Amino acid sequence: MTSSHKRFLSAYFTLPPISLCARGSDAWKQVFPFTEPGGAWTFSGRVALFAGLRQIQLPVGSTVLVPSYFQGTEIDTLIAAGYKLRFYAIDDNFEVDLADVEQKLDDNVSALYIIHYFGLPQRLGVISAFCQQKGIRLIEDCALSFLSKEGDTWLGSRGDVSLFSIYKSVALPHGGYVVTKNPTQPPELQSPPLFSTLLQTADLVAQHVRSASAHGIINRLWNRTNDLRKGIADKTVVSGTITLDQKTLCYSASKVVPRLMRLNDPHWVIERRRANFALLHSRLRHLSALPVETLAEGACPLFYPIYVENKPRFRAELMRRGVGSVNLWSQPHSASPCEKWGSVAKWRSTILELPIHQQLDGDDVERVAREILHLTRRTSAPKPAAKSAVSAAG
Ligand SMILES: Cc1ncc(COP(=O)(O)O)c(C=O)c1O
């Protein structure tokens, strides 16, 4: 039996307490977006978006074209910042449907908002040329695509505003990052409450301890204290909520965040995620939501998405078998007429994101694959979208 059989394989990485004693290195400072002169830390991705729009002075009251498949907090943030929204189609390769975007243009449209789904790149060259030609700004949502590239081009390097949710990719209590072209002024943000930072850092450490003892007392204790932990979190501001808490919009990242970044070697993160993705893809390709044969050069995915039937039940069974997963974006938003977008409704109800993060090794990934195959043996998954000539990853 490998160690991977004993521990809980969490959907996100955790923070081993021992790593807090390590000195780490400044390697993270040498990679995009931290190399950009106009970049700044924020509390989260949504704060990065809000601050970035102010920085480029995108006219308030103008219309932003937004994709029909989205998380929800980016939509709430755009509305809170004073923009009108118009939705455009995403095709079955999870790519921006530029023909539909073109139809949605009018004189009030000031920007096109794109999301790099699952950390995989949209066609940046074509899209940024389109925006230039139409005289509109490009907003790149890299919440899921920190450290990802399209070939040699970093995702986030083409947008007039690009937002990152760094804490989704590496172990941080919170932390977004904003990069803008020609910022007129730096964002005026204040440090978040210390209690918030301590609470969420302790949570990352506790999850590590919990994952090491999946079926033990710590895990039971963890589940029993759900309400207590939620009650404590409600007393402060926290990152990662599914609704927008406007109180967070004035916060930058704590000074602890750049220190914790030292524990991450970005090149190793990229290497592991790519290797884990490739291994899982070789085992679960028939269930994959992604119409790609291989992972495109430069892409650094955050998750491995598969189609499952009865997502909540499947997820609960997978959890019982010691594997975490992420149920991204299952809820529609009142601002979007969901029924109009056939594929979106299907994606929301059937796509489950599997972990491929940097703390998993090959044995762990094999175990994830085995558990999925075990659970799907009796159920037939919905057919993946038809493959097309242009892959979602480039
Ligand atoms: C596509 C997308 N954009 C923006 C956000 C907001 O990021 P954050 O949670 O860091 O505020 C999220 C969060 O999940 C997201 O998935």
Does residue 169 share a domain with residue 198? no
**Structure tokens belonging to residue 70:** 């989205």
Q: Which of 12, 41, 43, 46 to mutate to test the pocket of ligand 1 (most atoms within 8 A of CB)?
A: 46
Say whether 176 sits in a helix, a strand or coil: strand
What would the mean pLDDT of 325-338 be, rounded to a whole number? 87
Buried b / exposed e across 154-183, counting CB within 10 Å, b at 16+?
bbbbbbbbbbbbbbbbbbbbbbbbbbbbeb
Cα 372 to Cα 161: distance, rounded to the nearest angstrom: 38
Any domain includes 283: yes
**Is residue 45 within 6 Å of ligand 1 at its C-beta?**
yes
- Band of the pLDDT at 214, cuts 50, 70, 90? low
For the cut 80, the answer to whether the pLDDT of residue 333 exceeds it is yes
Give the end of a domain, one of 112, 146, 180.
Answer: 180
Q: Is residue 39 within 8 Å of 179, Cβ to Cβ?
A: yes
Q: Which of 68, 69, 71, 169 to mutate to test the pocket of ligand 1 (most atoms within 8 A of CB)?
A: 71
For the cut 50, the answer to whether the pLDDT of residue 387 exceeds it is no
- Band of the pLDDT at 390, cuts 50, 70, 90? very low
For the cut 80, the answer to whether the pLDDT of residue 338 exceeds it is no
Cα 245 to Cα 235: distance, rounded to the nearest angstrom: 12
Any domain includes 54: yes
Residue nearest to ligand 1 atom 7, measured at CA: 45
**Is residue 44 within 6 Å of ligand 1 at its C-beta?**
yes
Q: Which of 53, 64, 73, 164 to mutate to test the pocket of ligand 1 (most atoms within 8 A of CB)?
A: 73
Does residue 90 share a domain with residue 114? yes
Within 13 Å and on the Cβ side, how many CA atoms surround 90?
A: 26
Any domain includes 216: yes
Q: What single DSSP character describes residue 317?
A: H
What would the mean pLDDT of 3-18 be, rounded to a whole number? 80
> How do residues 49-96 score in pLDDT, each as one tens digit?
999 999 999 999 999 999 999 999 999 999 999 999 999 999 999 999
**Is residue 175 within 6 Å of ligand 1 at its C-beta?**
no
**Is residue 169 within 6 Å of ligand 1 at its C-beta?**
no
Any domain includes 185: no
Provide the residue range defining the domain that includes 41: 27-180
Does residue 108 share a domain with residue 213? no
Any domain includes 344: yes
Cα 350 to Cα 384: distance, rounded to the nearest angstrom: 10
What would the mean pLDDT of 102-126 be, rounded to a whole number? 97
pLDDT at residue 211 in the model: 80
For residue 49, which atom of ligand 1 is closest to its CA? 4
Any domain includes 18: no
> How do residues 129-169 score in pLDDT, each as one tens digit?
999 999 999 999 999 999 999 999 999 999 999 999 999 99
- For the chain, strand residue ranges (E) read 40-42, 63-67, 84-88, 109-115, 137-142, 149-150, 153-154, 161-165, 176-180, 303-307, 351-355
Does residue 99 share a domain with residue 171? yes
For the cut 60, the answer to whether the pLDDT of residue 2 exceeds it is no
- Band of the pLDDT at 31, cuts 50, 70, 90? very high
